Amino acid sequence: MTAPATNLQKTDAPVVASVRDLRVHFKSKAGIVHAVDGVDFDVRDGETLGLVGETGCGKSVTARSFLRLVPMPPGIPVSGSIMFHPRQRCTACDGAGCVACDHTGRVVSTCPACSGTGCSTCEQTGAETLDLLTIPERDLRSIRGNRIAMIFQDPGKALNPALSIRKQVAEVFYAHRSDELLASAGIDPSSHSLPTGLLRRRATQQSRTLENVLLSLPPLRSRRSAITAAADDRVAAALAETQIPNPRAVMDRYPHELSGGMKQRVMIALALACDPDLLIADEPTTALDVTVQARIIELIKELQQRHKTAVVYISHDLSLVRRVADRTAVMYAGRIVEVGDSEQIFHEPEHPYTRGLIDAIPGAHHERGRLAAIEGTVPELIDPDPSCRFAGRCDFAAEVCWTRDPALEPVGDRQVACFIHHPPEHGEAPTFDRTAR
Amino acid sequence: MTAATDQRTVLAVRDLKKHFPIKDGALQRVVGQVRAVDGVSFDLLRGETLGLVGESGCGKTTLGRVLAGLEKPTSGGVYFDLSEQQRTELDQALRAGQGEDLAQLEAAHRVDRLDATNWRRFRRNTQMVFQDSFSSLNPRHLVSDIVGRPLRVYKEASGSALTERVVGLLEQVGLGRQHLYRYPHQFSGGQRQRISIARALALDPELVILDEPTSALDVSVQAQILNLLHELQQNRGFTFLFITHDLSVVRHMADRIAVMYLGRIAESGETTGLFDDPIHPYTEALLRANPDLTGDDEGFRGLEGTVPDPARPPQGCRFHTRCEYATPDCGWEIDDVVLQLEDTPALFDKLVGVERRSPFDADLEFVDASAAAALETALHGDEVPSSMKAAIEQVSVGAQTVSIKFREVNEVLLTPRGNDRLAACVLDALPSRD
């Protein structure tokens, strides 16, 4: 795995996003479903955080909350915050990487309210802080795909089948980099003349029919095609970065003409086009073959190292997360049960659920028919009682597990939500040696 | 490992092919064949579990469907329920070609030539569990109908006796009487897969074909289902054909494994041996790409390139286009040159036509002489694998054409490698990695 030195570095790294007490519920006929019920974690700059759990544990809802992609209704935002600290290009080296920005080419944006001295809006950190759950939709639009990007599970469904790859990827640049496009086309973006206005609207894909007619007339036509050419160059560069052979030819293809692995590469190119601070990958390889999956993982890792992007990697596959993530958070029934360094978690799981999951993966050491299955099924999340969500399937559950909620508290370098590690003040605590397995 | 106690062969598969026609044009003329399964042979002994692994599109599901009698094979045969002696006779008869012995054996055992009685016997003894339990259980039928249907079709039971049999089956798979009168949508994924298994076991079949039975399930539920399958096999002596892409699962479940690539078996053998010491480079690539909980990051690596078009499988060894150990004898051909050209659009746009004398020998015609010359230089460049360069016997540049002739090689066949292992590779063993 990653060398200890880099791990240390990563734990010291500044926090890019912190999720606090996130609760997202859903209305249903049977009652309120507590899909995500009090989730806390931090994502640090440049690290990969793995988010693992079984179907329905709330990992996708958590991820989608970052970009407010959970449909409301039926979703109900109950409480919580996702504090995001956007970063900006390092002024000392202009993005090339220097000592001031720790060779990332980026520095933390300063808080606009106090200009970096520390105030109540930025919780005395001096860094610009945005609560992704409350900022206006307009501001969020400038973050989506720009500062925070997302890769979805099924690239076949995430790409628009009616648009060529060129148009889909170019859209990112038109939406977030229109000034750069104008500049590369030799147009001064700050000018207020009518032609510039028309071209600016063109570069943000806002042109109406009449404007398009005007733009196709000789005086503007060449400059319009310069904008298109600038966008094309960027699209080709973005595709080339994900090791797509022959990007110029791929640009004119439609999604159905590409293989699954190639489509996922296009998705990654799209996501990383604007050099985001945070990349959310929601099961990006589940629909792919193992051989292709391994290639995509290598690619994500390599690009992450180059861009120094923080990645939240969501998967149900523990063995994969072990390969990918620096830190891992294990989710169960809307809660995080254990979070910590990946190597530690997979080597010595502390929470009974994590233990169960790891034992359930068939390996060379298992005798056939003796897989340690976790008996029972995930509990209904409709109006749950205060109790440990895992108590019904836990081999070690004691009285207290049925009556109180364990909180996520530190154990060594990790955080675990279990009474085994945090005995309650009253009543008998569960222990690992209660029942021999 | 459960050793097969009885040497009866449940299924003997001999040079099985299943091709699907590609139709085109207004008249729907057949313009090609997708060779989904293209010459597969193996034996399935009673009581053993054979794992069938491969990437998507390698033909493993089609093979499963042909074996279950759901598709008619294009050529080759599936022979059902042979004794040791009959199997030897079959192999002799097949080697000898047409004959009385063969005709007799085929009438009684070859699946696509069985008479009505034997066909019924075959069908009830071969059951299938499908990957997607959402679409393989009728949403408008009750569980009692779904699980009881095979018993009713074969007139095994009716009325209250049928209900009791169904309850018995449900209890075997960990469900109970309370689940009888429910619909599939009222169950979780794991429970639905249990219902599928109960239905497959209803007639006490000889062979159960499991097509990705756990790939839609979570690990904790997958473990429950795998334990259940093992227990059922122990108690009732089923033969399993376990089709999956998950190497960890197949390693856990199978006695023997066959690795498929592009319609062919690349390597087969006993599970532990195959995992510890793969012979075929494709097996090795699959193992390296499989993330597991042990092992370090060093070995974890993907595979370059994509699966070739099964309508035009590569010559020689089918894996040579992606193989890192490829030699000049692996079957380099004209199509490989065309593939290289596709990556250099400047040249590819100038290609007018390819006139093939054989898959190994062709004239490539370009619009101008400079493009032809450029191809010749490209063939000596770094982009071309060195083994491919070595396989070129002759290149001659004409006015606008380039004639290329590759070394002709035969199809790489499965050869015995000791210890019950078969592999289709020109190499004797994988080169060591030091």
Which residue of A261, A289, A364 is in closest CB contact with B245? A289
β-pairing, A87-89 vs A335-341, is: unpaired
Calpha distance B336→B318 (Å, rounded): 12
A vs B, Cβ pairs < 8 A, gives 124
Q: Chain B residue with minimal CA distance to A249?
A: B345
ipTM of the predicted assembly exceeds 0.95: no
Q: At A201, is the secondary structure helix, strand, or coil?
A: helix
Q: Where does the pLDDT of residue B297 fall: very low under 50, low under 70, confident under 90, or very high at 90 and above?
A: low
Ramachandran quadrant class, B332 (left: phi over 0; alpha: psi -120 to 50; beta: rest): beta
Which among A121, A96, A145, A126 has a CA at the least distance from the CA of A278? A145
Q: What does the pLDDT look like over B36-82, one tens digit per residue?
A: 998 899 999 988 999 999 888 888 889 999 999 888 999 888 998 88
Partner A contacted by B342 (CB < 8 A) = yes
Which token pair is B47? 């009581």
Share of chain B above pLDDT 70, in %: 97
Does B223 score more than 60 pLDDT? yes
Chain A contact set for B297 (CB, 8 A): 1, 323
Measured between beta carbons, the chain B residues lying within 8 angstroms of A377 are 188, 190, 221
pLDDT of A9: 46
Q: What average pLDDT does range B250-277 have in this prediction?
A: 91
**3-state class of A74 per DSSP?**
coil
Cβ separation of A374 and B304 shorter than 8 Å?
Answer: no
pLDDT in tens, B165-207: 999 999 888 888 888 999 998 888 888 998 999 999 999 999 9
Mean pLDDT in chain B? Answer: 86
Give the domains, in start order, of chain A with CATH numbers.
Answer: 4-156+278-340 (3.40.50.300), 163-250 (no CATH)
Strand partners, B270: B256
Q: Is the model more confident about B287 or about A364?
A: B287
pLDDT 10s digits, B73-116: 998 889 988 888 888 888 888 888 777 878 888 888 888 888 88
Task: Categorize the per-residue pLDDT at B4 as very low, low, confident or very high, splitting at 50, 70 and 90.
Answer: very low
**Amino acid identity, position A185:** A
Tens digits of pLDDT across chain A (437 residues): 334 434 444 456 788 888 989 999 888 888 888 888 889 888 988 889 999 988 888 888 898 888 888 888 888 888 888 888 887 777 777 666 676 666 666 777 777 667 666 666 666 666 778 888 888 888 888 888 888 999 988 888 889 999 999 989 988 888 888 888 878 877 777 777 777 777 777 777 777 787 777 777 787 787 778 888 888 998 998 898 888 878 888 888 899 888 888 888 899 888 888 888 899 999 888 877 888 888 888 888 888 888 888 999 999 888 888 888 899 999 998 889 999 998 888 888 888 899 888 888 887 777 777 778 787 777 778 887 788 888 888 888 777 888 888 888 888 888 888 888 877 777 667 776 544 44
Dump the DSSP string for B116-138: HHHHHHHHHHEEEE-S-HHHHS-
CA-to-CA separations, B375 to A36, B302, B365, B371, B389, in angstroms, rounded? 59, 30, 11, 6, 13
In one letter, which amino acid is A124? Answer: Q
Q: What is the spatial order of strands in the sheet that A327-332 belongs to? A: A148-151, A278-282, A310-315, A48-52, A327-332, A335-341, A414-416, A409-411
3-state secondary structure of A335: strand
Angle subtended at Cα B285 by Cα A284 and Cα A288, rounded to the nearest 5 degrees: 20
Mean pLDDT within B234-249: 90
Pick among A2, A251, A259, A290 to test the B interface (most B CBs inside 10 A): A290
| pLDDT at res. A11 | 57
Closest-CA distance, A285 to chain B, in angstroms, reads 12
- Do the chains contact at A322 and B293, CB–CB below 8 Å? yes
A419 touches A372 (CB < 8 A): no
Q: How many CB atoms lie within 10 A of CB B298?
A: 8
State the sign of the Cα–Cα–Cα–Cα dihedral A10, A14, A17, A20: positive
Q: Which residues in chain B (219-238) have CB-CB distances under 8 A to chain A?
A: 219-224, 226-227, 230-231, 234
Tell me the nearest-neighbour CA distance from A292 into chain B, angstroms: 6
The residue-averaged pLDDT of B234-254 equals: 90
Residue with tokens 């070595």: B390
Rg (CA), chain A: 24
In chain B, what are the domains? 9-140+183-274 (3.40.50.300), 332-406 (3.30.1360)
- CA separation for the pair A434, B271 (Å, rounded): 37
pLDDT score, position A436: 41
Count the Cβ atoms, other than its own, within 10 Å of residue A222: 9
Q: How far is CA A304 from the centre of its chain?
A: 12
CA distances from A229 to A181, A203, A205, A234, B344 (A): 9, 11, 15, 9, 21
CA B262 – CA B116 distance, rounded (Å): 34
* Alpha helices (runs of H) in B128-175, residue ranges in sequence order: 133-136, 143-153, 159-172
∠ CA B293-B294-B296, nearest 5°, is 110
Which structure tokens are listed for A319? 């063995």
pLDDT for position A359 = 85
Amino acid at A401: C
Distance, in Å, from the CA atom of A198 to the CA atom of A183, rounded to the nearest integer, reads 15
Instruction: Report whether B198 contacts B173 (CB < 8 A).
Output: yes
Distance (Å) of CA B32 to CA B311, B317, B356: 7, 21, 17
